[in-house]
Structure 1
Amino acid sequence: MSCRPNKPHGEGRLSAHLSTPMTPQPSRTTPSSQASGSTSTPPAEVNHPHYLSKPQLTSPAAVNAAIDIFTIDQGHVTLPDDLCPLDALSSILRNISSVFELDVSADLDLTCRNILHRILQFIFDTNTQSALEEDSEIFAHLSSKQKARILAQAIAAFTVIFQRLAQTGEKVTYGVLNREAQLFTESDQRALMQSLIEGGAVFENCTRKSDIAEAILSAIDADEDAATPQPVAADDKQDFMFSPSAAQEHKNMGVPWGFSIMAIN
């Protein structure tokens, strides 16, 4: 399989989110409904695993398939010192892709480096992406917990994007991938999810890998309401109000608080 050439960032931008097809819920016939010919589904069963759509059930499996990259050392989530971030991200992408089993166009390889590069463009700011793909020396100087948080953010984002692809019910082409990744980038979910992972205590107080998976899944499933802490960092959407060139400015997402990656000329 081959990859399509990279296209300009922002291709496939839509003005509104597409509606997500809902999986019909099985109905249960009660004695009273048999007499009237009607059927009903008890409200208590709506969220039962038997009634959940495949993407909802697949997300935990995808996250669990990707967390083997982490190790736990004296309660702290760590990564190997000699870890190549691009190799790690490629492995994560392959593992998550294999779980979802999408119907993919013959001319698209969702796990190749060009597609990984494209997806990372939708997830991280320019400096973080550069540290992950081009200048691993910068990544190497991050603390282990900073590295772990960045990779956890990537796992969450990969999972959400593949979940979106599964929910469309369409054959996955480059255009469909570009569209769904762009919609994720423009959503409030991205900033909220990354902020929750960034502030998660699990990276400094962890006893088993399932704790990491639970933290990532909680960030993915977080509702944006009064009970959920909102992101503190300024996102690129806010930047757009001040500068017409904000599309080229740093989004400050994916870089641990108190740490900034300096541009090298």
Structure 2
Amino acid sequence: MASTISSVSPMQASIEAATNHLSFDPGRLLVPPETCLSSLLKQTLTQFTTTYALPDSLQALLLSQPSSLDRILNSIFDTSCLAFVTDKEFRIEAGLDDHDKVTLFVQAVAGMAMVFERLLLASSSSSRSSSYANSRSEDLTTCLFSRELQLFAESEQRRTMLDRVGGTSLLSHCYTKDELVSFVVATVEDRVPHPRHADGSSLLPLNAVGEDLLSDSVAWVSDRSCKNMGLPWGFTIMALN
């Protein structure tokens, strides 16, 4: 039997694995109860690291340094949100509702994907540089990791991602894992996802459909004289002498 080559990118594969930590409850996404986001994100970091084909020295840094996760999360989130994703106890998260927890988790996953894409590109470029052979691999890896985290933290890409995930209604009305994965991948790639039917046809959001119907109704009425409002079209009120 001929083997098939998967066309799924490391980014999409990592995001798919991360979404397995969430549960679907009739249209809602949920983080497992009594579970710290930091513990889920630690597992997610391991999944990203083992899925991406990063240099061995960079993989070792990500897996062996306990501070790697916190440093990545620091580059993703503003200071006001950090405690919710880095705290090792559940007490701080206890004040968050389900939607807030899911939003923070999805933002962390999308941000992690962006960081790993940067690391993959940067490490590939560094390996072709003549200075790579003249530098200690460990030192170069540490510098590369720190540089990419700082660049991402200061980027407009980070802010756009946080705003897009924080502003979407999908996290409150999501019925399939594929729908969530497609949204996160599109966000990482800075694309606007367009929901579709199973047959591939375009699926308008409910509010867009409502706006179209409303516009059609207004146009239908505005084409006719107001004097006949309340009567079937074609009928008029005859004046009596």
Normalised TM-score (structure 2): 0.65
| Per-residue CA distance 1:186-215 (angstroms, 9 max, x = gap) | 111101011111111211111111111111
Aligned match for 2:12, one of 37, 40, 60: 60
Deviates more, 1:152-161 or 1:107-116: 107-116
Tell which structure's C-alpha radius of gyration is larger.
Answer: 2
**What residue number does 1:126 align with?**
79
Alpha-carbon offset, residue 148 of structure 1? 0.6
| Per-residue CA distance 1:146-182 (angstroms, 9 max, x = gap) | 1011010110111111111111203671211111111
Cα-Cα RMSD: 2.4
Matches within 5 A, 1:156-175: 156-168=110-122, 169=124, 170=126, 173-175=141-143
Alpha-carbon offset, residue 57 of structure 1? 2.6
Aligned match for 1:148, one of 84, 96, 102: 102
Unaligned runs of 5+ in 2: 128-139, 193-241
Q: Is the 8 A contact 2:22 2:29 kept in 1?
A: yes
**What residue number does 2:196 align with?**
none
Q: Distance in 1 between matches of 2:60 and 2:9?
A: 25
Q: Is the 8 A contact 1:93 1:116 kept in 2?
A: yes
**What residue number does 1:9 align with?**
none
Q: Distance in 2 between matches of 1:105 and 1:142?
A: 37
Unaligned runs of 5+ in 1: 1-49, 225-265
2:44 aligned partner, one-letter code: I
- Spell out structure 1 runs of 4+ moving beyond 2 A: 106-109, 131-136
Q: Percent identity?
A: 26
Q: Is the 8 A contact 1:200 1:215 kept in 2?
A: no
Cα 1:149/1:175, change in 2 over 3 Å: same
3-state DSSP of counterpart to 1:157: helix
Cα 1:107/1:210, change in 2 over 3 Å: closer
Q: Is the 8 A contact 1:104 1:173 kept in 2?
A: no
Q: Is the 8 A contact 2:21 2:31 kept in 1?
A: yes
**What residue number does 2:226 align with?**
none
3-state DSSP of counterpart to 1:72: strand
Query: What is the aligned length?
Result: 171
Structure 1 position 92 matched with structure 2 position 60: no
